[in-house]
């Protein structure tokens, strides 16, 4: 009987189109994760298809596999409840325990079949085109099978057992999803804790997938064994596997003894309290609608009904115990994160800053968003799940009223989640005695805004709403929405996508917060990105209404007609207008980021760096003068993100060779107004705008130990806006500007910071490998260079620096004068003694700190 049930269930599932989709997803993930795991290790000798890489992939199976298991496992048992077939199937002469084992075995075997796609993907890695041929070795089939037996099969069994025990005891799919979510959360917590605080025995044992214990073993292996050896099953790894496999067996046994037809098929009866609540709600509705029997079909009545149904749907979401359990778990995670797990605590004693509290949304927002998307899919298909859609579809209420009410209810639910994050963060700050550190505006911007907060949740709910209308299938909606979410995240994690215009609902600067400058330049760019995604979300919502399946099935040709009345003419025109706005804002962003800010892909940057080294590598050995003394006049204009400056620079030729050409490397945002040598204009030999280097012919050759005086006038101004924290443009910000002197003055000769430093990248660009990043002790040129700057000795100088009136300018040296003039603040600094040429200039609305009373004084 058990074998027959397994065979029947497997044969039915294998033939379904979703199986091929899942296997394709897992094949793709196998290739994808292999590349990501390879990039995790920096040693250039590691092979992409090495056993170490494949073990790292197999440790967890990947988040996509966890989600697929969560989606498909419960349906094997819950379908009897969902389709109301249990009432007659359970009356057949079938042994209930055999029936349960058959369904459990079928679900487990089916999950293993899906996981085989992951294995196939890793086997196909050398043929995927993700790396050059020399980065691959022979496929380690033995280690692949070893890892599959050691990690994949036990982990799949654990997840299957967890879902089944939750389903058998509660008869609720939501609890099954939650249980798998908790297992995944436990893994994430152990992983992040090991990365921030180091690997410990406790973390190795508490990790449900064995990631931490395996990572400990892999890191202890030399590179040759990572490329060839199997990991030993000893120590913490062995203990971990025994503990979690045993737990999976225990849970499977518990669900086996708990399951019986009568209990599992029983219909939950409504309690007196629930009936009374329903009766009370109906009475209130009747009182508020005394003319209930009178039918009215005006827009005003539809809007009233939309408001009423939205409140009703919201109550149906937040009142059940399942919502309270999930909310309680999430809030507990926030408390633990903000009290114990926050990475900022690892640097030493600190105070609970507001950004520390809001950073929870980044650490666990991934799972929160998945919960919201699954919940939204369940709500949008509620009528079809409980089989009342044939009745609801015949009612005269427009589809936009019923579906938008659920969309609004999900918006309300996500708002309550985001608001609870804010309240918990404030409570933690107050309990720790730091009421003064609460920044309400930051809580609103982070938790309730579009910076991966509530408004970001709304955008993803809109996507789920659109997919539910297009597919008309709850299961497919879950797969597509979560699959797109994972695809987007992994695309950016693995470098397959780099431009933020491809990151739906994403805004720049999520992690780039400073206590002095806030989100700085990303406030501006984030607004434009949100406007772009908000316009697209409007299109999604309106098209979701337009495509929603109501009544009899419609062909796609019928759905695409402009005369369809399911969405009014005004709605169609609004969706068209929103789509036009989306493309207009997108084109504006592209112009600002790609053109004005000169955005480059990572590959383009590497090619440019390689080209610089190939073209100008000879400058390493060409004599160039060095900075000796600088008189600098520097003016910050924070609001315009601009700096205007002039400098008198004394250069000395410390080499033993004469110098006839001055090579200057500038930053791309610098514009040279004037450059003179000893009061005379100089001839420009060439300008390389791509590499930002200019060569000047000196009026006469500089003999060894000779000096020249260079007069430089220049401006640095940023145009457009940047899309990521990799280019923070921190030297000129609205507040808190701080940059090295070479952000403004040229690097003379060869600029070593433009070199490619990683050997993997150098191999890709056909450059010789760096045997050591430290120069040879016999290299005379390197021995004559300062560690802080290749083009400067220990220098002296004088700096007169100014900024706007509400900010304070800072510079190296001793401040000898401070004054205000023309609504600006000025300071003069003197560097009388020779000091390393590692100057930094800054401007900000700083506050004075008194160590005597440990209080912050008035802003300057």
Given a contact cutoff of 8 angstroms between Cβ atoms, the answer to whether 816 and 829 are in contact is yes
Given a contact cutoff of 8 angstroms between Cβ atoms, the answer to whether 720 and 596 are in contact is yes
Q: Which of 317-321, 328-332, 389-393 has the lowest average pLDDT?
A: 389-393
Interatomic CA distance for residues 213 and 194, integer angstroms: 10
Interatomic CA distance for residues 102 and 76, integer angstroms: 10
- Supply angle C-alpha 388, 318, 395, rounded to 5: 25
**67-115: pLDDT as tens digits:** 888 878 877 777 776 666 666 676 777 788 888 899 899 999 999 999 9
Token digits for 669?
A: 């945002």
Q: β-strands 659-665, 693-702: how paired?
A: antiparallel
Output DSSP code: residue 337.
I
Q: Which of 22-31, 546-555, 663-672, 822-831 has the lowest average pLDDT?
A: 546-555
CATH superfamily of 616-768+780-859: tricorn interacting facor f3 domain (2.60.40.1730)
* Mean pLDDT rounded to a whole number for the chain: 84
**562-583: pLDDT as tens digits:** 556 678 888 889 999 999 999 9
Q: DSSP string covering 730-748, please?
A: TTS-SS-EEEEGGGTSPEE
Residue ranges with strand state E in 585-669:
626-637, 642-652, 659-665
What Rg do the C-alpha atoms of the chain give, in angstroms?
Answer: 32
Token digits for 475?
A: 């299961």
**372-422: pLDDT as tens digits:** 998 898 899 888 766 676 677 667 778 888 889 999 999 999 999 999 999
**820-834: pLDDT as tens digits:** 999 999 999 999 999
Please give the backbone phi and psi of residue 816, each rounded to the nearest 5 degrees, phi first: -110, -10
Map tokens 């090991």 to a residue. 194
Band of pLDDT at residue 349, cut at 50, 70 and 90: low
Most confident of 161-170, 316-325, 527-536: 527-536
Given a contact cutoff of 8 angstroms between Cβ atoms, the answer to whether 398 and 314 are in contact is no
| 693: helix, strand or coil | strand
Given a contact cutoff of 8 angstroms between Cβ atoms, the answer to whether 695 and 661 are in contact is yes
> What Cα–Cα distance (Å) separates residue 79 from each residue in 162, 385, 438?
18, 11, 49
Q: Quote the pTM value.
A: 0.77
Interatomic CA distance for residues 673 and 681, integer angstroms: 12
Closest to 72 measured CA to CA, from 18, 20, 32? 18
Closest to 330 measured CA to CA, from 74, 322, 162? 322
Domains of the chain, residue spans: 2-264, 301-591, 616-768+780-859
């Amino acid at each position: 009987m058990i074998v027959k049930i397994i065979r029947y269930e497997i044969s039915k599932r294998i033939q379904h189109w979703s199986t091929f989709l899942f296997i394709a997803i897992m094949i793709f993930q196998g290739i994808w994760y292999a590349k990501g795991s390879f990039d995790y290790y920096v040693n250039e000798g590691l092979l992409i298809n090495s056993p170490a890489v494949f073990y790292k992939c197999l440790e967890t199976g990947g988040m996509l596999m966890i989600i697929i298991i969560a989606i498909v496992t419960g349906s094997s048992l819950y379908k009897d409840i969902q389709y109301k077939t249990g009432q007659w199937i359970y009356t057949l002469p079938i042994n209930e325990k055999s029936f349960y084992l058959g369904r459990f075995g079928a679900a487990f075997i089916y999950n293993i079949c899906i996981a085989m796609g992951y294995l196939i993907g890793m086997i196909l890695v050398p043929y995927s085109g993700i790396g050059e041929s020399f980065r691959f070795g022979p496929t380690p089939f033995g280690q692949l099978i070893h890892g599959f037996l050691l990690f994949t099969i036990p982990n799949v069994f654990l997840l299957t057992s967890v879902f089944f025990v939750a389903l058998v005891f509660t008869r609720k799919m939501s609890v099954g999803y939650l249980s798998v979510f908790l297992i995944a959360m436990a893994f994430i917590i152990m992983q992040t804790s090991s990365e921030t605080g180091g690997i410990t025995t406790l973390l190795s044992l508490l990790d449900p997938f064995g990631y931490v214990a395996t990572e400990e073993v892999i890191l202890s292996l030399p590179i040759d064994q990572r490329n060839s050896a199997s990991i030993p099953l000893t120590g913490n790894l062995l203990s971990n596997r025994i503990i979690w496999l045993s737990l999976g067996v225990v849970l499977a046994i518990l669900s086996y003894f708990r399951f019986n037809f009568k209990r599992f098929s029983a219909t939950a009866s409504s309690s007196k309290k629930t009936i009374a609540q329903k009766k009370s709600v109906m009475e209130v509705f009747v009182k508020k609608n005394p003319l209930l029997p009178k039918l009215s079909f005006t827009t005003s009545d539809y809007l009233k009904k939309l408001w009423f149904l939205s409140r009703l749907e919201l109550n149906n979401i937040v009142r059940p115990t399942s919502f309270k359990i999930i909310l309680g778990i999430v809030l507990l995670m926030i408390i633990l994160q903000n009290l114990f797990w926050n990475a900022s605590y690892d640097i030493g004693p600190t105070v609970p800053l507001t950004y520390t509290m809001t950073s929870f949304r980044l650490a666990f927002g991934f799972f929160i968003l998945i919960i919201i998307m699954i919940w939204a899919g369940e709500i949008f298909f509620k009528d079809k799940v409980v089989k009342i859609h044939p009745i609801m579809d015949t009612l005269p209420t427009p589809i936009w009223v019923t579906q938008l009410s659920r969309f609004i209810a999900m918006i309300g639910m996500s708002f309550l989640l985001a608001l609870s994050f804010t309240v918990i963060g404030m409570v933690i700050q107050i309990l720790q005695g730091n009421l003064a550190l609460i920044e309400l505006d930051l809580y609103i911007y982070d938790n309730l805004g579009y910076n991966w907060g509530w408004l970001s949740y709304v955008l993803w709910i809109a996507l789920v709403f659109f997919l539910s209308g297009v597919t008309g299938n709850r299961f497919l909606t879950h797969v597509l929405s979560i699959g797109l979410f994972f695809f987007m995240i992994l695309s950016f994690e693995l470098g397959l996508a780099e431009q933020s215009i491809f990151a739906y609902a994403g805004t720049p600067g999520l992690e780039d917060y400073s206590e002095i400058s806030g989100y700085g330049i990303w406030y501006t760019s984030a607004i434009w990105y949100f406007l772009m995604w908000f316009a697209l979300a409007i299109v999604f919502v309106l098209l979701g209404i337009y495509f929603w399946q109501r009544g009899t099935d419609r062909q796609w040709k019928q759905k695409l007609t402009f005369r369809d009345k399911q969405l009014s003419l005004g709605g169609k025109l609004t969706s068209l207008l929103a789509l036009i706005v989306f493309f207009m804002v997108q084109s504006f962003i592209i112009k600002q980021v790609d053109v004005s800010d000169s955005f480059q892909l990572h590959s383009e940057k590497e090619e440019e760096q390689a080209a610089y080294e190939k073209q100008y590598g000879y400058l390493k050995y060409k004599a160039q003068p060095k900075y000796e003394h600088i008189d600098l006049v520097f003016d910050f204009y924070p609001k315009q993100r601009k700096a205007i400056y002039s400098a008198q620079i004394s250069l000395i030729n410390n080499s033993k060779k004469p110098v006839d050409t001055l090579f200057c490397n500038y930053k791309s945002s610098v514009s040279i107004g004037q450059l003179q040598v000893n009061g005379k204009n100089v001839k420009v030999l060439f300008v390389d705008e791509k590499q930002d280097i200019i060569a000047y012919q000196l009026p006469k050759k500089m003999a060894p130990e000779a000096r020249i005086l260079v007069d430089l006038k220049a401006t640095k101004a940023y145009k457009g806006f940047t899309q990521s924290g990799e280019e923070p443009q921190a030297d000129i910000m609205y507040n808190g500007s701080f940059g090295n002197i070479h952000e403004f003055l040229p690097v003379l000769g060869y600029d070593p910071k433009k070199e490619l430093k990683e050997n993997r990248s150098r191999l890709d660009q056909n450059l010789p490998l760096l045997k050591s990043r430290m120069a040879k002790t016999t290299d005379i040129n390197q021995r004559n260079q300062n560690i802080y700057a290749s083009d400067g000795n220990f220098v002296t100088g004088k700096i007169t620096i100014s900024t706007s009136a509400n900010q304070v300018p800072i510079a190296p040296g001793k401040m000898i004068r401070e004054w205000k003039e023309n609504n600006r603040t000025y300071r003069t600094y003197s560097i009388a003694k020779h000091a390393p040429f590692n100057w930094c200039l800054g401007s900000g609305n700083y506050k004075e700190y008194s160590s005597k009373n440990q209080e912050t004084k008035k802003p300057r």
